[in-house]
Structure formats: structure tokens, C-alpha cells
Amino acid sequence: VTTQTSPRRGRPIGAPGDLLANNRSTRGRVSQHTRRGGVLDSVAPGSPAARAGIKAGDIITTVNGHRLRDVVDFQFYAADALVDLGVLRGDKPGVETITILRDTAQDIGLAFQDPTFSPIRECNNHCPFCFIDQLPAEMRTSLYIRDDDYRYSFLYGNFVTLTNLNKRDWVRLAEQKLSPLYVSVHSTDHELRSILLGNSKVPNILDQLDRLAELGIRTHTQIVVCPGLNDGEALEKTIRDLTDRHPNVVSVGVVPVGLTRTPEEILDSPAAACSRILPSARNLNLRQFRTEEATEVIALVESFQRRLRRALGKSVVYASDEFFLLAKTEVPDAAIYDGFPQYENGIGMVRDFLDDWSTRRAGCAPDLRNRKPTVITGKMFAQSLSSTIDEWASWCGADVQVVSLENSFFGPRVTVAGLLTGRDILSAADQFRGDLIVLPAFMLDKTGQRLVDSVTPAELESELGRPVSFAGTMTELTSAVATR
């Protein structure tokens, strides 16, 4: 099974649980951490660390006298040419000090098993739209972790709410200047944000963003918009408050709420005891966007973009691809995305897909006349994909079948391809007539090893009796089909 990734997707952003795949984790708890330091996963052959005799499985406890809490500490304190490492080894008592002298341009060569050496920081919120409350059982266990850890935000671009920062965190942020951070704002109206986060004790987000700016820390922000709650005037105020803070607020992503189940459905279900949703969420009337509402959000974002592009030469605020698909409107040109600062948040992926195809089809077509792939997608992108796939088939000659699947696992409200599960694929297997199955690359976790319901690509291949590839662009599709 080949996993194709586009260069832009190389940035490791996403659920931290994906990076904790080696841990035994249960709902909200991660084990196998050591408070003594960080366990090494590997040591790069020939690196300064390897030459100093450091090995996988060793535990790094200190760097230049500083106790290590996580990889961020390691990066911060090990930046010098002369590095003293405190090392614990299974076969030796006590901590050994190993000194490494290296060229600072050269990587020291250590990879840790986990980015944090103590359990990941979880959120203290009760968002009525919390994705985790909507998850069915039997998903990847790491998906049940309510990550709200600013260190993962710094390392991998995970969005955090900043509601759980304590004094020590602020001291650390001031010292290490962890920038940029990715912040879920939702609304700059304090009361409304409290409702959206289900937390009456949320700190004032604008004060927090300003404080980060004073520390030299920039932020990428997102607004998860719930129709009837924080859209309209509330959204306008939020966008204005955030874009007024540019360049410290680098970008503002506007994303529609995703609902597999409403709070009412969750609270009425037998598993409600496990839910964190507050009973008051029942009255919020949470629902998904309608076409005309999505159009209004796009119009609002575009009015800000026009003003900001005139004043600053950049958009700063961006509507997610899902809004354009909901509104059945064309996505903007690539220039509007200013280098795609929130690509991994689903902002600009469709434009990237279309532009990739424009470039690819202008090039030499491979002869794929004897290839019969089945390409699978979710309902939301099916129409746009089908017309591009038709062009592609005429271009290269492949006998392609496109199958758009309903999400039977999360329910028909979920139409994005990335949340299709292994079980959705397997239950539709008798529809597939291709000799190669190509799935959306976004179905895979960040390690490329599992789908959202823990099914592996190898299990899919075995059950389907055919090779399975993953592709996110037409270039990747072409290469997947050509190499089979």
C-alpha cells in the first residue's frame, strides 16, 4: 500500500492522538509516560548522539542542567554547540552525563517516543459541538483524547482554546516564545464564547491574544461557526476583532460546525453519562449550515478580504472549503489564500486540488488505457470530483469508476471524504469494479497507518482482495494508477 502525500501535507499537523499511537491510551488517559524524562525512539545513525553512544530506549532526563518536560524543552535547551545530556539506561544505575559537541547546523540525532513526557493536557471545556462527544464507540482510542495542549499547538498546529493555561504556562511561554500557536476563538464576545465552550470560567480571549502578542507570540485563529449562534453580526465582530490584530493574529479560519449528532440526540442517548455536554446545550438549537447561510458567511468573509487586500495586500481571513461546497460556489483563486496558512484546517485544499489538475493535464499524459481504478469519495466532494475524473479519464485513457459513499458509521450528516471509515468501504465492496481501489488521502491518520475506525490499509487490501492506494490530488491519483 502506498501512501501519497503532497508537499504541503508534509507539515505534521493534526490530532496529537495520531502521534501517540504507540501508547496504550484509553478514554482521556495516556499511559506509558515517564516523568523522569523522554524515552528515545531512535537515534539517527552517524549523528552526534549516535557517536556519543546514545541508543534507542535511553531516557534523556536533562539538557544542560534543565529538567526535560517535553520535546519543546529539548529543542529549546539543546540549541547550543555544547550539550550536556543526563541519560538513564536500563542496564546502569543513576543518571550518566554525556557531553556532545557539535556544529549547531547539524541535528543532534535524537527522536523521542512521545512529544510530551507526561500525559497530554486535556481541555476543561464542555463545547456543545464537541466532536469527541459525537464519536461512536470503537474509534481509534487516541481520538477520545480531548487534547487542548499548547505544546501540541506549537509542535503540530493543533488548535487549542487557551482556557487551561496556568501561571507556569505563561512563564514558560514568555521564556520560550512558542510561536505561532493555533487558537480556537469561535467568538470574541466573552459571554457567547463561554456558551460555545460550555465553560463559564473562560478567560477573555482578546486579552489572551494581546498578551501573547506582547510576548512576541503570533497566532493562527479559527472560528467554528454555528448557524444562529455565532454567525451574522457576532461573526462580523469576531472577524473584525481578530483581523484588527494582524500581523500578531496571522490568519483567521472560518469553519462550519460539524455535527454528526445534535446535543439533544447525544443527551438522550443511553451513553449520555459519558458525555461532557451540559444539559443547557439542549436549548442551543445546534444544527448544520443551510446553503443560503453558507453563502452569507462567504459574502461576509469576502467583504473583509477585499478591504484587507486593499489595505494590507493579503486576505488574513479565509472561509473553509466546506462553506464553498455547501454554498455550491467556486472556491477562490490560489492568490486569495496567501500561501495557504490554514491548509490542514480544510482551507484551500479544493483550490490546490483544482490547480494541481490544471498543471498536470497541461503535461504529458501517461498511457493508462489498461488500468481500471475505482476512486472513492464522500458525498460532499462527489460532484466536483466526478467532472475532474471524467477529464482525467479522457486524458490518460483509464477506465475509471467513481463511487461516492454515504457515511454509514457517523451517519448521513457527515459527507466529507476524510471521515469515511474502513467499514464504510468494506460494506460497499460489491459496488467496486476496479482492480485498484483509490481512497482519499485524508482518510488516513497522520502516521498513514490507520483509518478513523482503526482499520488499516493492509486489512482493507486483504478484505477487498485488491490493492489499495491513497491519493489527495490528481497527480497522486495518476501516480498511484500508473505504478500499479
Q: Which one of 88, 132, 225, 439 is in contact with ligand SF4 (CB under 6 A)?
A: 132
As beta bridge partners, residue 26 has 29
CB closer to ligand SF4 out of 132 and 471? 132
DSSP-derived 3-state class of residue 232: helix
CA nearest neighbour of 22 among 37, 8, 33, 9: 33
The distance of closest approach from Cβ of residue 272 to ligand SF4 in the complex, given in angstroms and rounded to an integer, is 15
Q: How far is the CB of 126 from ligand SF4 (least distance, A)?
A: 6
H or E stretch including 249?
A: strand 249-256
Min separation Cβ 364 and ligand SF4, Å: 47
**Site track for ligand SF4 across 290-329, x = CB under 6 A:** ----------------------------------------
Stretch that binds ligand SF4, among 66-74, 122-130, 328-336, 430-438 (CB under 6 A): 122-130
According to the binding rule CB under 6 A, does residue 49 interact with ligand SF4?
no
Q: Distance between CA 471 and CA 392 in Å, rounded? A: 14
125 makes contact with ligand SF4 (CB under 6 A): yes
Contact mark string toward ligand SF4, 159..198, x via CB under 6 A:
--x-------------------------------------
For ligand SF4, the closer of residues 83 and 135 by Cβ is 135
Q: Does 130 bind ligand SF4 (CB under 6 A)?
A: yes
CA 181 – CA 350 distance, rounded (Å): 25
Tell me the number of residues near ligand SF4 by CB under 6 A: 9
Residue 225 binding ligand SF4, by CB under 6 A: no
Q: Does 266 bind ligand SF4 (CB under 6 A)?
A: no
Q: What is the DSSP letter of 70?
A: B
Report the SS3 class of residue 33: coil
Closest Cα to residue 475, out of 339, 330, 354? 354
Chain centre to alpha carbon of residue 358? 26
Tell me how many degrees the CA angle 127-238-252 measures, rounded to the nearest 5: 85
Least Å from the CB of residue 43 to ligand SF4: 35
Q: How far apart are CA 332 and CA 306, in angstroms?
A: 12
Q: Per-residue x/- mask for ligand SF4, residues 135 to 154, rule CB under 6 A?
A: -----------x-x------
Residues 13-32 contacting ligand SF4, CB under 6 A: none
- C-alpha R_g of the chain: 24
Answer whether 268's CB lies under 8 Å from 281's CB.
Answer: no
Span near ligand SF4 by CB under 6 A; candidates 76-84, 126-134, 208-216, 324-332:
126-134
User: Residue 225 or 396: which CB sits closer to ligand SF4?
Assistant: 225
Q: Which helix (H) or strand (E) holds 224?
A: strand 219-225
Q: Which residues contact 93 (CB under 8 A, 6 or more apart)?
A: none
Cβ-count burial 284-315 (b if 16+ within 10 Å, e if not): bebebbeeebbbbbbebbeebbeebeeeeebb
Closest to ligand SF4 by CB, 155 vs 376, is 155
Q: Which stretch binds ligand SF4 (CB under 6 A): 54-62, 118-126, 254-262, 442-450?
A: 118-126
Residues that bind ligand SF4 (CB under 6 A): 123, 125-127, 130, 132, 146, 148, 161
